[in-house]
Amino acid sequence: MYLELARRNLQRAKTRSILAIVGIIIGVMAVASIGIFGNSMRQSVLERFEDLADTIIVSPKHSEGFTEIDEDDIKLIKKTSYIDYAIPVKDKREMVKYKDSKAFLTVYGIDEEDLKKLYEPYEGSIKLKGSAVVGYQLAEDFGLNLGSKLTVGGEQFKVAGILESQGISVGLSPDNAVFLSVEDFDKLFDRGYTSVVIQVESLDYIDTVEKSIDHAVNRRDEKVDIRDFESLIENIEASLSTMTQFLTAIAAISLLVAGVSILNIMLMSTMERTKEIGVMRAIGAFRETILRIFLLEALILGLIGSVVGAGMSLVGGYLIISMMGFTTSYILDLSSVFYVAEGFSVGILTAVASGLYPAWKASKLEPIEALRYE
Amino acid sequence: MKVIELIDVHKIYKTAYYEVHALSGVNLSVKKGEFVAIMGPSGSGKSTLLHLIGCLDKPTRGEVKISGIEISNLNDRELTKLRRDSIGFVFQQYNLIPTLTALENVELPLIFCGMNGGEREAKAKELLKQVGIEEVANRKPTELSGGQQQRVAIARALANNPTILLCDEPTGNLDTKSGEAVMKIIRELNKNEGVTVILVTHDPSLSDFADRVVNIRDGRIEVEDVS
Ligand SMILES: Nc1ncnc2c1ncn2[C@@H]1O[C@H](COP(=O)(O)OP(=O)(O)O)[C@@H](O)[C@H]1O
Ligand SMILES: [Mg+2]
């Protein structure tokens, strides 16, 4: 019956109630869809990174004065158990020219078979006997085609292959690089190996492999740095969730606005119904009864707004995600349900919290004053 | 047996700029089943007196006893309970809840004391029948005439079988004919059910309905006519 009373009071001021509900809907939608969006973004970014997580990169320890990795050490590294492969790479920043374009780029010296293990060709094939393989972005920027003659360190190399675009990658940065065979590299530059890319059999062995390399190579001197990408992924995850939190905070402001409008609407309603409150108190309503009726009104507003808002946030989340070009496959994920639930409960909480003060004020009215009110 | 007893009651309203001595030393006792009319010009303190008897307010000084209970010592909750269980109010402006139907308005005090739905509706219907408007039970106050609204208000006042019915200018907004009908209902209640009635009015023609008339002027009781 109190419910019915509350419902009718809301119906009496229909426009106002609808405005309050719209406010809550927008707030809940903003909070929930940004949550869903942030989550989807995190999942799709992490999915790309997870492929890289089983990679270990060994590089010379510059702080100890080492700039290269010895051939002997590379042999030791290759013998480590639980690894799929260990690929030694040389690199150098060097002027690369093609027709009118020129730039300082990374030139890698790598074994042909090893390069095949790392990347797939987008065009042509991975052949390094007197020829070069270039990254996707470089081909794009320089307008390179298969057969184009590229000048590296004064020597010309025919482009035999263009790699697929990698985007995010670890260890090497292939998109803007030139790959030469180790023999060709050695003709141009006098340089030893500068890194080893190791693919571990499974994520579980990362620590074991790192320890055994450390044990084998760094026994006497700290010669090499051993890095994996677990912490990198953790960092990315942390910064993505910071970003999501920031967006959610902005969304929360819209809920705050909704809360203020409910506060305002309910205060108006309290004023208008002063006399009614007085009458109810006169005929035997306790303060709590008045409090309950008003809170119930706020609750109903919050409930309707939150239900509709939660439903619409799935749609809103979908729109943002597809607009930003992330995969929408995580929308119906369990964690999305969590964000919808979060938006829902925050919506209800906002409504009830905003109703608290007006309801308290209504319940504090002295019946005699309320009755005299015109 | 005294249902209402006021001993040297003073009521002073303090506003920011001045004080109003609404009641200055009122003594009054009302026996169970009595029908007392309190008459006086506007501003003489009638409503103030009625609100004190109705436990809506406390006196600045003096004692107000309802069924022997001194109200100054009661807290808000206890006063509310007393109003709910022992007192019925009928106001000049009817004061029905506009969102509720006639029937629901009568049910309201029954809700406040926790009566269940079926029993409540039956009782409310019975009360509307008693005041002769059962046919408009499902109408909202705005769809009722003044006389009908005041009858609903009386039915609502009676819902919890009060010992005291307090009427503040109940015919003030009504035409003569419906005013008379309302007064007849109130007198019937007094005669047949033994409800103690306090009627506040500035209309001398209503004095005929009362057992006793108390005249009030400037917050003091002037003459007591005993008929
Ligand atoms: N809450 C209040 N604050 C200040 N003055 C009041 C208040 N209630 C009543 N009064 C004053 O007290 C006097 C008596 O009022 P009231 O009891 O309403 O008279 P009546 O009902 O006989 O017209 C009037 O002068 C009125 O203005
Ligand atoms: Mg008055």
SS (H, E, C) A129-177: CCEEEECHHHHHHHCCCCCCEEEECCEEEEEEEEECCCCCCCCCCHHHE
Mean pLDDT, chain A, integer: 88
Residue A79: both structure tokens together:
């013998």
Contact yes or no for A295/A352 (Cβ under 8 A): yes
In angstroms, the Cα distances linking B51 to A369, B24, B56, B66 are 11, 15, 5, 12
Query: Are A267 and A330 in a shared domain?
Result: yes
- Contact check, Cβ <8 Å, B117/A287: no
* Chain-chain contact of A280 with B108 (C-beta, under 8 angstroms): yes
3-state secondary structure at position A223: coil
Instruction: Give the per-residue pLDDT at A372.
Output: 84
Q: Based on the domain organization, do A259 and A312 belong to the same domain?
A: yes
Taking CA–CA distances from B156, the nearest residue in chain A reads A283
Q: At residue A46, does pLDDT exceed 90?
A: no
Which domains are seen in chain B, by residue range?
A: 2-226 (3.40.50.300)
Q: Are residues A191 and A97 in the same domain?
A: yes
**Domain-terminating residue out of A174, A207, A228:** A228
The rounded distance, in Å, linking the Cα atoms of B179 and B66 is 29
Q: Residue A111 half-sphere exposure, CB side, CA atoms within 13 Å? A: 10
CB-CB under 8 Å, B117 with A368: no
Where does residue A311 rank: exposed (0-12), middle (13-18), buried (19+ CB within 10 A)? middle
Same domain, A276 and A293: yes
pLDDT over 50 at A72, yes or no: yes
Q: Is the CB of B45 under 6 A from ligand 1?
A: yes
Shared-domain flag, residues A148 and A193: yes
The answer on A364 and A310 residing in a single domain is yes
> Minimum-distance ligand to the CA of B22?
1
Say yes or no: A282 and A297 in one domain: yes
> B94 and chain A: CB distance < 8 Å anywhere?
no
Number of domains in chain A: 2
**Domain that residue A182 falls in:** 55-228
Atom 4 (ligand 1) nearest CA? B13
Share of chain A above pLDDT 90, in %: 45
Write down which residue in A185, A205, A228 finishes a domain. A228
- Which value, in Å, is the radius of gyration of the alpha carbons in chain B? 17
* pLDDT at residue number A254: 86
List CB contacts of B14: < 8 A, sequence separation 6 or more. none
A133: which 2 tokens?
Answer: 């393989």
% of chain B exceeding 70 in pLDDT: 98
A285 and A356 share one domain: yes
Q: Tell me, what DSSP letter sits at residue A81?
A: T
Give residue A320's pLDDT band: very low, low, confident or very high (50, 70, 90).
confident
**pLDDT value, residue B224:** 59
CA nearest to B99 within chain A: A8
Q: Could you tell me if B11 lies within 8 Å of chain A, comparing CB atoms?
A: no
Centre of ligand 2 to C-alpha A368, Å, is 12
Name the residue of B20, B24, B93, B222 to mutate for ligand 1: max ligand atoms within 8 A of Cβ.
Answer: B20
b vs e for A75-110, b when ≥16 Cβ sit within 10 Å of the residue's Cβ?
A: ebbeebeebeebbbbbbbebebbbeeeeeebbbbbb
Answer whether residue A150 shows pLDDT above 50. yes
Closest-CA residue to B113 (of A289, A363, A7): A289
Locate the DSSP E strands across A201-284.
Answer: 224-228
A295 and A345 belong to one structural domain: yes
Contact B56 A282 (CB under 8 A): yes
Q: Do residue A262 and residue A364 come from a single domain? A: yes
Contacts of A11 in chain B (CB under 8 A): 99
Is residue A167 located within the same domain as residue A212?
yes
Give residues whose Cβ lies within 5 Å of ion ligand 2.
B 47
pLDDT the model gives residue B227: 47
Q: Among A228, A257, A287, which residue terminates a domain?
A: A228
Confidence of residue A171 (pLDDT cuts 50, 70, 90): confident
Q: Please say if the pLDDT value at position B226 is more than 60.
A: no
In this structure, are strands B212-217 and B35-39 parallel, antiparallel, or unpaired?
A: parallel
- Identify the residue with better confidence: A343 or A315: A343
Contact B76 A284 (CB under 8 A): no
Asked whether the predicted pLDDT for residue A230 surpasses 80, the reply is no
Cα angle value B38/B41/B44 (rounded, 5°): 75
pLDDT tens per residue, range B118-149: 999 999 999 999 999 999 999 999 999 999 99
- In chain A, residues with a C-beta closer than 8 Å to the C-beta of B200 are none
Helices H / strands E in chain B, number of each: 6, 10
Is the CB of B13 inside 8 Å of chain A's CB atoms?
A: no
- CB of B44 shorter than 6 A to ligand 1: yes
Cα separation values, B120 from A10, A292, B22, B123, B169, Å:
24, 21, 39, 5, 28
Answer whether B14 contacts ligand 1 (Cβ < 6 A): no
- pLDDT tier for residue B222 given thresholds of 50, 70 and 90: confident
**What pLDDT is recorded for position A331?**
67
Residue length of chain A: 374
* Residue with tokens 């106001």, as numbered in its chain: B91
Q: Report the sign of the C-alpha dihedral through residues A286, A287, A292, A298, in that order.
A: positive
Task: Say if residue A75 is in the same domain as residue A179.
Answer: yes
Q: What is the mean pLDDT of residues A57-64?
A: 90
Arithmetic mean of pLDDT, B26-31: 95
CB pair distance less than 8 Å for B80 and A283: no
Residue ID of nearest Cα to ligand 1 atom 3:
B13
For residue B99 and ligand 1, the question of a CB distance below 6 A is answered with no
